[in-house]
């Protein structure tokens, strides 16, 4: 940096220091929401050490800091994908068709908790939970209804399903077949990320080892048969919702990613091939600049990890492609309309961070599942950013900004420190087993709560600017209490009408294949799904063979 600038900056700082004696700043020191130090201002000297070609590069080129495509949103917008599902397949199918009619460009299926944890609706463990946080799916029958009149060769579908991901993917493949859509024409994503379930989300079933096998079986099966399918969505979203900082979100997500790449490589799969189908899922919270920097840093870090650590040379397998959802935990039950504004800020950060798809939360989600009206506003928020804000007309517009590049470096540095610690412990599985990851997240969550209570952090309408309000009058979505009974009746009918001998044979085949280690389980699961074995039956067999995970409680 030239001497003239340095001299000028020193003089300027001295001047400010003097005026501070009279006019104090609002705080002694400033940080990002995640606790990274934030200077009064950033100048050219702050990004002096950056080598443009090495650290930033061109859009669509390594290390992909500026995005994964050369033209980004000038070519086409991100996929507007609203996570939805409730009650039964019939009701959810209706909501999907509403969303498609409103211009949503991809589906995202929310399953209820029994489905996510491998229980049929008539299981005692499912009591009270059927159709509550998503749609209840017990068998291929329900899945056929869920996608009724939705052509699977025209939409891409993301499914938030983890422990029983193989079963739901098998059902999707079978629905495709019935519609005349071959496997290699299906596109979409399964979340299939068990590690973050142990860390933060809680819908695990099996212990880590067989869970990793199920995941890598899917990688292998899809590489050969469903080449357009994203076989995993390695998720920081829930880690962040559980309370982590932005840098921890990146660190723990990429550390999970490293564990999956290692597991698949160990099975003999080529990261240059399966690496193309790895996708990611991040959160977008309110601290706008830090969030933009986070997305850019994550992309650069993953490219470096794949290249340097795993020797990946295929650029498509070096790219971090990601879905974003705005931050559910940032929404307030107080003055819910304010959430529209929060969601806008968060969504904009993900667009400026180069997201491939986006879910915008609805304003009423701190109160209940979203109503149709509030989902509509959330989707329009994306359309306004896409069509009206102008930020989509040039690629990675904030690149080169002193503060953005400094924070991108800051997130990368901090996140690589965590990854280094995890490596030193022997990898992510050990770090989870020891409670290292959970402890860091909980400490950050507690620290945040404390800062809200001491008003170091202001949440409008919650600890400042409160108003008296009557929320009882707000129109919320309620799930019909009879869903459970209807599902149970459907199950009874299914079991009377299907070929039960075929079912028990198919389940026995799964048991045999699961007991050994050499067979890929996917074809067996597809076979069982096809003759209408239920999800609970298939997972039940796997539970018997694999055992169940028990939580390591860290407090």
Which residues sit at the interface with other proteins, rule CB under 8 A? 113-114, 116-117, 119, 125-129, 132-133, 197, 201-203, 241-243, 329, 331-334, 365-369, 442, 445-446, 449, 452-453, 459, 462-463, 471-472, 474, 476, 478-479, 551, 553, 555
- Residue 185 C-beta: closest distance to other proteins, Å: 34
- Residue placing its CB nearer to other proteins in the complex, 204 or 219: 204
- Residue placing its CB nearer to other proteins in the complex, 73 or 119: 119
Q: Are strands 30-31 and 37-38 parallel, antiparallel or unpaired?
A: antiparallel
Contact 354, 66 (CB under 8 A): yes
Three-state SS annotation for 453-481: HCCCCCCECCCECCCCCCHHHCCCCCCCC
What is the distance, to the nearest Å, from the Cα of residue 106 to the centroid of all Cα atoms in its chain?
15
- Residue placing its CB nearer to other proteins in the complex, 108 or 116: 116
- Residue placing its CB nearer to other proteins in the complex, 439 or 492: 439
- Residue 233 C-beta: closest distance to other proteins, Å: 17
- Residue 479 C-beta: closest distance to other proteins, Å: 7
Which secondary structure element, helix H or strand E, spans residue 11, and what is its range?
helix 3-22
- Residue 478 C-beta: closest distance to other proteins, Å: 8
Beta bridge partners of 280: 234, 322
- Residue placing its CB nearer to other proteins in the complex, 105 or 329: 329
Quote the CA–CA distance of 437 and 163 in Å, as a whole number: 20
DSSP for 288-317? HHHHHHHHHHHHHHHHHIIIIIT----HHH
Quote the CA–CA distance of 113 and 119 in Å, as a whole number: 8
- Residue 158 C-beta: closest distance to other proteins, Å: 19
- Residue placing its CB nearer to other proteins in the complex, 181 or 445: 445
DSSP for 21-57? HHS--SSSSEE-TT--EE-S---GGGGTT--IIIII-
- Residue placing its CB nearer to other proteins in the complex, 354 or 536: 536
DSSP for 374-412? HHHHHHHHHHHHHHTSSGGGSSSTTTT-HHHHHHHHHHH
- Residue 373 C-beta: closest distance to other proteins, Å: 16
- Residue placing its CB nearer to other proteins in the complex, 208 or 353: 208
Contact 274, 223 (CB under 8 A): yes
- Residue placing its CB nearer to other proteins in the complex, 3 or 555: 555
Contact 521, 514 (CB under 8 A): yes
- Residue 112 C-beta: closest distance to other proteins, Å: 9
| Angle, CA 284 vertex, CA 281 and CA 288 arms, to 5° | 145
- Residue 105 C-beta: closest distance to other proteins, Å: 28
| Other beta carbons less than 10 A from residue 73's beta carbon | 20
| Other beta carbons less than 10 A from residue 181's beta carbon | 16
Quote the CA–CA distance of 1 and 544 in Å, as a whole number: 66
What's 107's DSSP letter? E
Three-state SS annotation for 151-211: CCCCCCEEECCCCCHHHHHHHHHHHHHHHCCCHHHCCEEECCCCHHHHHHHCCCCCCHHHH
- Residue 339 C-beta: closest distance to other proteins, Å: 11
- Residue placing its CB nearer to other proteins in the complex, 60 or 202: 202
- Residue placing its CB nearer to other proteins in the complex, 478 or 497: 478
- Residue placing its CB nearer to other proteins in the complex, 133 or 502: 133
- Residue placing its CB nearer to other proteins in the complex, 116 or 344: 116
Number of residues that this document lists for the chain: 555
- Residue 277 C-beta: closest distance to other proteins, Å: 26
Beta bridge partners of 233: 279
Place of tokens 């600890």: 463
- Residue placing its CB nearer to other proteins in the complex, 113 or 298: 113
- Residue 424 C-beta: closest distance to other proteins, Å: 26
What's 111's DSSP letter? B
Q: Which of 209, 210, 264 has the alpha carbon at shortest distance from 430?
A: 209
- Residue 448 C-beta: closest distance to other proteins, Å: 9
What's 528's DSSP letter? H
- Residue 237 C-beta: closest distance to other proteins, Å: 13
- Residue 487 C-beta: closest distance to other proteins, Å: 15
């Amino acid at each position: 940096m030239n001497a003239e600038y340095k001299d000028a900056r020193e003089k300027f700082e001295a001047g400010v220091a003097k005026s501070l004696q009279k006019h104090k700043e609002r705080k002694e020191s400033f940080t990002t929401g995640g606790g990274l130090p934030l200077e009064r201002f950033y100048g050219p000297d702050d990004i002096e050490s950056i080598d443009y070609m090495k650290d930033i590069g061109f859009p669509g080129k390594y290390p992909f800091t500026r995005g994964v495509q050369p033209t980004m949103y000038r070519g086409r917008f991100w996929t507007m994908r609203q996570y939805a599902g409730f009650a039964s397949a019939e009701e959810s199918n209706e909501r999907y068709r509403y969303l498609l009619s409103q211009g949503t460009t991809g589906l995202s299926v929310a399953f209820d908790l029994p489905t996510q944890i491998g229980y049929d609706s008539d299981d005692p463990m499912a009591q009270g939970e059927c159709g509550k946080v998503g749609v209840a799916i017990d068998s291929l029958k329900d899945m056929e209804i869920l996608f009724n009149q939705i052509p699977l060769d025209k939409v891409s579908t993301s499914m938030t399903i983890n422990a029983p991901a193989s079963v739901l993917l098998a059902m999707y493949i079978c629905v495709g077949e019935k519609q005349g859509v071959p496997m290699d024409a299906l596109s979409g994503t399964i979340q299939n990320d068990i590690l973050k379930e142990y860390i933060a989300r809680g819908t695990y079933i099996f212990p880590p080892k067989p869970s990793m096998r199920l995941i890598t079986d899917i990688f292998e099966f899809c590489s050969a048969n469903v080449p357009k399918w994203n076989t995993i969505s390695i998720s920081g979203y829930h880690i962040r919702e559980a309370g982590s900082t932005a840098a921890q979100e990146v660190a723990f997500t990429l550390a999970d990613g490293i564990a999956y790449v290692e597991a698949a490589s160990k099975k003999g799969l080529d990261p240059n091939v399966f690496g193309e189908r790895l996708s990611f899922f991040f959160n977008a919270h309110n601290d706008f600049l830090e969030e933009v920097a986070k997305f850019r840093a994550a992309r650069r870090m993953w490219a470096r990890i794949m290249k340097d650590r795993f020797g990946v040379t295929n650029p498509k397998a070096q790219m971090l492609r990601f879905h974003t959802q705005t931050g559910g935990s940032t929404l307030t039950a107080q003055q819910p309309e304010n959430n529209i504004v929060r969601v806008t800020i968060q969504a904009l950060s993900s667009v400026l961070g180069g997201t491939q798809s986006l879910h915008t939360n609805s304003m009423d989600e701190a109160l209940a599942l979203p109503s149709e009206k509030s989902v509509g506003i959330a989707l329009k928020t994306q359309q306004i950013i896409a069509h009206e804000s102008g930020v989509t007309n040039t690629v990675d517009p904030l690149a080169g900004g002193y503060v953005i590049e400094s924070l991108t470096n800051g997130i990368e540095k901090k996140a690589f420190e965590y990854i280094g610690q995890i490596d030193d412990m022997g990898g992510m599985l050990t770090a989870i087993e020891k409670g290292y990851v959970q402890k860091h997240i909980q400490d950050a969550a507690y620290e945040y709560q404390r800062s809200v209570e001491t008003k170091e952090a202001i949440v409008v309408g919650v600890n400042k600017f409160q108003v008296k309000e009557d929320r009882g009058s707000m129109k919320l979505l309620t799930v019909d209490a009879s869903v459970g009974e209807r599902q149970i009746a459907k199950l009874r009918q299914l079991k009377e009408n299907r070929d039960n001998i075929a079912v028990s044979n198919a389940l026995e085949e799964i048991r045999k294949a699961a007991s050994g280690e050499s067979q890929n389980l996917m074809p067996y699961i597809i076979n069982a799904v096809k003759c209408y074995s239920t999800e609970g039956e298939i997972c039940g067999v796997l539970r018997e063979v694999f055992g169940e995970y028990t939580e390591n409680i860290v407090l």
